[in-house]
Amino acid sequence: MPNQHGKLYVVATPIGNLADFSIRAIEILQQVDLICAEDTRHARTLLQHHGITTHCIALHQHNEQQKAESLIQQILQGTSIAIISDAGTPLISDPGMPVVALAQTAGIQVSPIPGACALIAALSASGLAVTQFSFLGFLPRTSSARISLFEEQKNNTATWVFYESCHRIDACLKDLASVLPADHDIAIAREITKLHETIIKTSIQEMLKLFAQDSNMQRGELVIMVSGSKIEKKPDSLSDQQLKTLQVLLTECSIKTAVRLAVEITGARKKLLYQTALELAEIQE
């Protein structure tokens, strides 16, 4: 018997410019039976702009747990539903996870309709390394919790990214400056795709000055990107001087003592010194 289930669509919407909406996304929202929007009043502007008249209900962080089971039952009975957030890709720091998780468990087809995402848009224009990155979502509200998080991330060698409110960005930058060096590179993107779009890459110290000098920088939606830590990789072999020191010590001491003294004298890694000492001992045998 053919599957009569409906489908669940996760539809990305523009993050500012209403023209950043795919033809496929518009067609899907016109065809589905129901649209679940983070804010129906906000969604109405977008839907009316593109001539979409599909019935729309609210699905946000305060009601999604309660509504998830009911929506899944509707889909199992043949209803097709689309989830949209106020801006960008749903579930990326936006509502929708309970519904999608239940849909997957129930064997319902979940189809993503790609489009705008502030995280990816900001990274693509930041000038920071993007081969690897960590996304932290929205940060904690208190300074102590933010500093604790920054301490955890400061040795992360990948770029790390988070969203922050314009009301807390000044305090956030000062917390960041208390953990990372003043010359550490960061980038901030605000109002992406909108009239006052601004994307700046500079040091933490210079960014603090920019925000202090221009109050407009503390307005709008903000994506903060922090360059990964440039931890120097320890060498996989001893330098000539380190090797010479170890050889001299081995003529007078046991391997264990020679390695311990070589660590103190040369600063080389204990494991590397010990392995080299064993290899030298085998050669002498």
Q: Are residues 141 and 173 in the same domain?
A: yes
Q: Are residues 81 and 174 in the same domain?
A: no
DSSP 43-67: HHHHHHHTT----EEE--TTTHHHH
The pLDDT assigned to 3 comes to: 60
Final residue in a domain of this structure, among 180, 197, 226: 226
> Would 194 be classed as within a structural domain?
yes
Q: What are the helix (H) ranges across the chain?
A: 23-31, 40-49, 64-76, 97-105, 118-124, 143-153, 169-179, 204-213, 240-252, 255-266, 270-284
> Would 134 be classed as within a structural domain?
yes
Final residue in a domain of this structure, among 63, 88, 116: 116
> Would 234 be classed as within a structural domain?
no
219: Cα within 13 Å, side-chain hemisphere: 7
pLDDT, tens only, 19-34 = 999 999 999 999 999 9
Final residue in a domain of this structure, among 116, 139, 164: 116
Q: Are residues 112 and 174 in the same domain?
A: no
The pLDDT assigned to 234 comes to: 58
> Would 232 be classed as within a structural domain?
no
The pLDDT assigned to 285 comes to: 57
DSSP class of residue 92?
S
> Would 62 be classed as within a structural domain?
yes
> Would 156 be classed as within a structural domain?
yes
Q: Are residues 88 and 157 in the same domain?
A: no
The pLDDT assigned to 218 comes to: 82
Q: Are residues 109 and 123 in the same domain?
A: no
Q: 87 exposed, middle or buried (CB, 10 Å; 0-12, 13-18, 19+)? A: buried
| 282 phi and psi angles, rounded to 5 deg | -65, -40
CATH number at residue 217: 3.30.950.10
The pLDDT assigned to 238 comes to: 87
Q: Are residues 99 and 149 in the same domain?
A: no
Model-level pTM? Answer: 0.77
Q: Are residues 221 and 248 in the same domain?
A: no
> Would 2 be classed as within a structural domain?
no
Q: Are residues 146 and 194 in the same domain?
A: yes
- 236 conformational bin, left if phi > 0, alpha if psi -120 to 50, beta if neither: alpha
> Would 159 be classed as within a structural domain?
yes
144: Cα within 13 Å, side-chain hemisphere: 0
Expressed as residue numbers, the domain containing 254 is 240-284
The pLDDT assigned to 240 comes to: 86
Question: What's the structural domain count of the chain?
Answer: 3
The pLDDT assigned to 2 comes to: 47
> In sequence order, what are the residues at sequence separation of 6 or more whose Cβ sits closer than 8 angstroms to the Cβ of residue 157?
132, 228, 229, 230, 231
The pLDDT assigned to 235 comes to: 63
pLDDT, tens digit only, all 285 positions of the chain: 346 789 999 999 999 999 999 999 999 999 999 999 999 999 999 999 999 999 999 999 999 999 999 999 999 999 999 999 999 999 999 999 999 999 999 999 999 999 999 999 999 999 999 999 999 999 999 999 999 999 999 999 999 999 999 889 999 999 999 999 999 999 999 999 999 999 999 999 999 999 989 888 888 889 999 999 986 555 678 888 899 999 999 888 899 998 999 999 988 889 899 989 888 877 765
**Exposure class string for 199-236: b at 16+ Cβ within 10 A, else e:** bbbbbbeebbeebeeeeebbebbbbbbbbbeeeeeeee
Q: How far apart are CA 46 and CA 247, in angstroms?
A: 74
The pLDDT assigned to 161 comes to: 98
Q: Are residues 180 and 264 in the same domain?
A: no
Q: Are residues 106 and 128 in the same domain?
A: no
Q: Are residues 109 and 126 in the same domain?
A: no
The pLDDT assigned to 1 comes to: 39
The pLDDT assigned to 261 comes to: 92
CATH number at residue 109: 3.40.1010.10
| 223 phi and psi angles, rounded to 5 deg | -120, 125
Q: How far apart are CA 90 and CA 72, in angstroms?
A: 17
